Structure 1
Amino acid sequence: MDHTRATVEELAGFDALIDARSPSEFAEDHIPGAINCPVLDDQQRIIVGTLYKQVSAFDARKVGAVLVARNVATYIETMFADKPKGWTPLVYCWRGGQRSGAFTHILREVGWSAKRLTGGYKSWRGHVIEQLAVVPQALRFTVIAGPTGSAKTRILEAMQQQGQQVLNLEALAAHKGSVLGDLPGQPQPSQKMFETQVLSAVQQFDPARPVYVESESKRIGQLRVPDAVFQGIQDGQWLRVQASMEQRVQFLLRDYDYFLSGPELVTQLERLKESCGGETVTRWKGLAQARDFATLVGELLAQHYDRFYLRSMNKHAEGADHSRFATNDLSDAGIAALAREIGARSDAT
């Protein structure tokens, strides 16, 4: 048995998780709570890789060893300088090979009980895929449905503040779920990072209590909702929020104020040509340029979003009896009151 290695199942037993991969690898996905201490940064990896291909493996390893030793020494002098002898870090790289092996060896030579993750990040990724197929099946999803502008995400946020279990997929995906749902200056995470975040969230839930989630399509922006989560939503108890067109328009004017007043709106409307026609989109562009946002939002709801919502609801709810929650108040106070009503009625059933 190799006492310098550990498995994914042992992650919780360590004081720190050290990701020895490059910053770009770390940015794509990493184990929750890990800190990035690359033994080779992105540029250094290119240098070593080029030497390996164009000169020789020996020359590449020689240069790589210098860079790795120098980088690890810097971490010891700075980030780890105050760590006591009993500190127990776990180091991982892509496959649990040379990068984490070298890092772990140096830390152990100092006197810390460092270990490296068997299989590296790849073993973690396999764990995520495996658990995402299992954990959601034990949960009881209660689905907040309603046409665009019904404040579904805000209702979920209010319910979370009120102590309910909430899986906010749009927050994790950094996207509002609609064709115009991109968030300004906030790119979506990678698919791998999204799945890691979803797993981290669902693992915290008590299966004996409902988990509230928004009705979502299979994709949120560029990201795919994990299969078991999507199926859990389809099989869950659906609650329909009903609000007037006027209330929905006013809510969206507030919720999308950053987007309506920005330069991206006219460009993004182009994406609706296929479903709504060029003549209609041209009209909408004119409304946007004239800053008649109330009319624009009303027409977008009536002619685009509501059509697709009704189609998806009819497909899902053929003959289903959904609980309905009507409201004429989508202000912050009205949303909080609606969230309490939904939570109270669900808890009583």
Structure 2
Amino acid sequence: MRDDRPPANQRPPSRKGIASLDALAGFDEIIDVRSPAEFADDHIPGAISCPVLDDAQRAEVGTLYKQVSPFVAKKLGAAYISANIARHLQERFLERDKSWRPLIVCWRGGMRSGAMTTVFRSVGWDACQLEGGYKAFRNHVLAELERLPGLYRFHVIAGPTGSGKTRILQAMVGQGAQVLDLEGLACHKGSVLGGQPGQEQPGQKWFETCLWHALAAFDPARPVFVESESRKIGRLRLPEALFLAMQQAPCSEIRVARDDRVAFLLQDYPHFLHDIGELAVRLNGLRALLGNERIDDWLALAGQGDFPRLTASLLELHYDPLYGRALGHLRGPRRQIEAGALTTEEIARVAQQVLASAP
């Protein structure tokens, strides 16, 4: 249950059980009654899933609506919805007291959320359905992703692969900085070898919702630090307004000797040392770009267990040329920061220097 809601006498009044997006903070709980697949695709952060139609039931009712008649579909849908609301009420909400105030969300603020709202209000709870439903929330997120980047003073952390940019940003969080962790939100390090072991990337909609949620929490009076990224992180696209704001922002470029970068990467990507098959799959994906001979040479080094030479060659022949081209697209003022071997102490020192250099 939400613990940041205003006192009861300060909450916005409900309008016949309807609430708008600007009243979200006034509710104790957000209940999403869409199907599990809809919820997994995207939802309001903090919402809980209580589907009144599961995926199969929703498909069945939708088919009846199109192929038989709306009346027949609504009869079956009402039966399913009633049974599911009763189950949720008994299994999840019987312990809620009379002051509990839930917000109910479906696709457009229609039948599904309306049914649960009606039942909950008949119990005596001040339940409301979200006006416009999830669709209104989604439109709000997209509009805010166009607006919010213009409110902040971004400061970009750049540097070639292996220069510890993510670790530096993490150290800056510990030093009190505002940091937008794009790779953390995307579950990807932004390169052909950047997928996180055992983690799938989120869908585009959920990524954008998490990005909006992070941006909305920042203080516009303080700078926001972010790692330099291309338009895509793995298979996810950055919103255009954010990408353009990052390109025009001041930049701290981290400079690290290649040998120190190799040593750091061997520690930062340990999973590839133990899964040659997965490494081979990723490298084979570069054949069309880099040619068979180069990829075969890299696979031979991997097969021999010569990961230092493989890493150095990847940096020299693939990653560093990519970085050089990407650096040319950054238009803001740039300051170079020299770093030594990327120990914990050195990363903390560099983070402090970046903070000191930010406007």
What is the TM-score normalised by the length of structure 2? 0.92
**Residue matched to 1:308:** 322
1:53 & 1:255 partners in 2: Cα distance? 53
Opposite residue 331 of structure 1, the aligned amino acid is T
Q: Would you say 1:144 and 2:157 are equivalent positions?
A: yes
1:321 & 1:95 partners in 2: Cα distance? 46
The alpha-carbon deviation at position 311 of structure 1 amounts to: 1.3
2:273 & 2:191 partners in 1: Cα distance? 14
**Residue matched to 2:309:** 295
Q: How does 1:4-83 map to 2 (within 5 A)?
A: 4-83=17-96
Q: How does 1:150-161 map to 2 (within 5 A)?
A: 150-161=163-174
Opposite residue 39 of structure 1, the aligned amino acid is V
Q: 1:251 to 1:52 in 2, by over 3 A?
A: same
The alpha-carbon deviation at position 60 of structure 1 amounts to: 2.5
Q: Once structures 1 and 2 are overlaid, which stretch shifts more, 45-54 or 223-232? A: 45-54
**Residue matched to 1:243:** 256
SS in 2 for 1:91: strand
Picking from 88, 110, 127, the partner of 2:123 is: 110
The alpha-carbon deviation at position 218 of structure 1 amounts to: 0.7
Opposite residue 341 of structure 2, the aligned amino acid is D
Q: Would you say 1:273 and 2:284 are equivalent positions?
A: no
CA contact (8 A) 2:247 2:329 kept: no
2:51 & 2:257 partners in 1: Cα distance? 54
2:228 & 2:269 partners in 1: Cα distance? 20
CA contact (8 A) 1:20 1:99 kept: yes
SS in 1 for 2:286: helix
Deviation per residue, 1:104-160 (Å, 9 max, x gap): 111111111111111111100110011111111010001000000111111111111
The alpha-carbon deviation at position 2 of structure 1 amounts to: 4.4
Q: Once structures 1 and 2 are overlaid, which stretch shifts more, 298-307 or 80-89? A: 80-89
Q: 1:194 to 1:64 in 2, by over 3 A?
A: same
Opposite residue 334 of structure 1, the aligned amino acid is E
CA contact (8 A) 1:175 1:221 kept: yes
Q: Once structures 1 and 2 are overlaid, which stretch shifts more, 39-48 or 196-205? A: 39-48
Give unmatched runs, 5+ long, in structure 2. Answer: 1-13
The alpha-carbon deviation at position 47 of structure 1 amounts to: 2.8
Q: Would you say 1:340 and 2:352 are equivalent positions?
A: yes
Identity, % of aligned positions = 50
CA contact (8 A) 1:284 1:296 kept: yes
The alpha-carbon deviation at position 86 of structure 1 amounts to: 1.4
CA contact (8 A) 2:266 2:308 kept: yes
1:233 & 1:100 partners in 2: Cα distance? 39
Picking from 122, 126, 136, the partner of 2:135 is: 122
CA contact (8 A) 1:159 1:166 kept: yes
2:125 & 2:350 partners in 1: Cα distance? 53
**Residue matched to 2:341:** 329
What is the TM-score normalised by the length of structure 1? 0.95
Give unmatched runs, 5+ long, in structure 1. Answer: none
SS in 2 for 1:134: helix
**Residue matched to 1:286:** 300
Q: Would you say 1:213 and 2:226 are equivalent positions?
A: yes
SS in 2 for 1:258: helix
2:261 & 2:69 partners in 1: Cα distance? 65
Opposite residue 13 of structure 1, the aligned amino acid is G
